Amino acid sequence: MSQAPKRAVVLLSGGLDSTTCAYLARSEGFEVLALSFDYGQRLKRELVSARKVAEAVEASEHVIMTFDLRRFGGSALTADIPVPLGRTMHEIGEGIPVTYVPGRNAIFLSFGLSFAEARGAEALFIGVNALDSSGYPDCRPEFIDAFQDVARLGTRVGTQGQAVRIVTPLVALTKAEIVKLGIAAGVDHSLTWSCYIGGDEPCGECDACLLRAKGFADAAVVDPLVTRR
């Protein structure tokens, strides 16, 4: 008698981290349910990557949930605030940048929780990482722990002792480790997209591009997105 594969929802932006999560979930034997967000972000290029990655990991479903966080604004990604360019790693490491979107990961995780409960998925993968990171408060392990309590206490499955498990395989890794882990898991990095600015090619100057470049450099791996230039 064959057993139905266990299911995991993967929050998939199409960036380096979430893509690595999707491959890891698949390599752990999960049927992947991919969930992406068209939330009014500055560019939609990342959703093209998310679509390609969902196909690459053979996601059984890929939902793009649409809503408009520009109604609230308060971020360089959702309002008319310039994205900082050309910052040093020291500057990137200081404080919470203007690209922080208020409450974003709580919103994303809540939708992920809803999707997971509705489909009977036992795990919810999110590619937060607190090292070499953006400085976002909603990428820290203490935030994830708090959200795990939300999943335990605020859902039907949670009250039945089967809370959706929030899985953060990258939380304690550097970007270089994420690059190497991705290669080991079969990630095709040419499918991913990290840049906040967009266009046909990454800008190379926003925090997301700089963190990505540092990750590939430290891993001594060539970023296929950059070699295409």
Q: Give the binding site for a copy of itself (CB under 8 A).
A: 63, 65-69, 71-75, 96, 100-107, 109-111, 113-115, 117-119, 137-138, 140, 142-143, 146-147, 149-150, 152-156, 158-159
Q: Where are the alpha helices (DSSP H) in the chain?
A: 16-27, 45-56, 89-92, 104-119, 141-153, 156-159, 175-184, 207-219, 224-227
CB of 109 to a copy of itself, least distance (A): 8
89, 52, 42, 36: which is closest to 212 by C-alpha? 89
Residue whose CB is less far from a copy of itself, 63 or 226: 63
Residue whose CB is less far from a copy of itself, 72 or 222: 72
CB of 97 to a copy of itself, least distance (A): 10
Residue whose CB is less far from a copy of itself, 1 or 4: 4
Residues 192, 221 contacting (CB under 8 angstroms): no
Residue whose CB is less far from a copy of itself, 63 or 183: 63
Distance from C-alpha of 144 to C-alpha of 142, rounded to nearest angstrom: 5
CB of 50 to a copy of itself, least distance (A): 15
Q: What is the DSSP letter of 154?
A: S
CB of 171 to a copy of itself, least distance (A): 14
Residue whose CB is less far from a copy of itself, 109 or 210: 109
* 3-state secondary structure at position 11: strand
Q: Sign of the C-alpha dihedral, residues 63, 67, 73, 74?
A: negative
CB of 15 to a copy of itself, least distance (A): 19
CB of 96 to a copy of itself, least distance (A): 5
Beta strands in the chain (DSSP E): 7-11, 31-38, 61-66, 123-125, 165-167
Residue whose CB is less far from a copy of itself, 102 or 224: 102
Residue whose CB is less far from a copy of itself, 147 or 196: 147
Contacts of 175 (CB under 8 A, 6+ apart): 16, 129, 131, 132, 211, 212, 214, 215, 216, 218, 219
CB of 180 to a copy of itself, least distance (A): 29
Q: What is the DSSP letter of 37?
A: E
CA count, 13 A, side-chain hemisphere, 224: 10
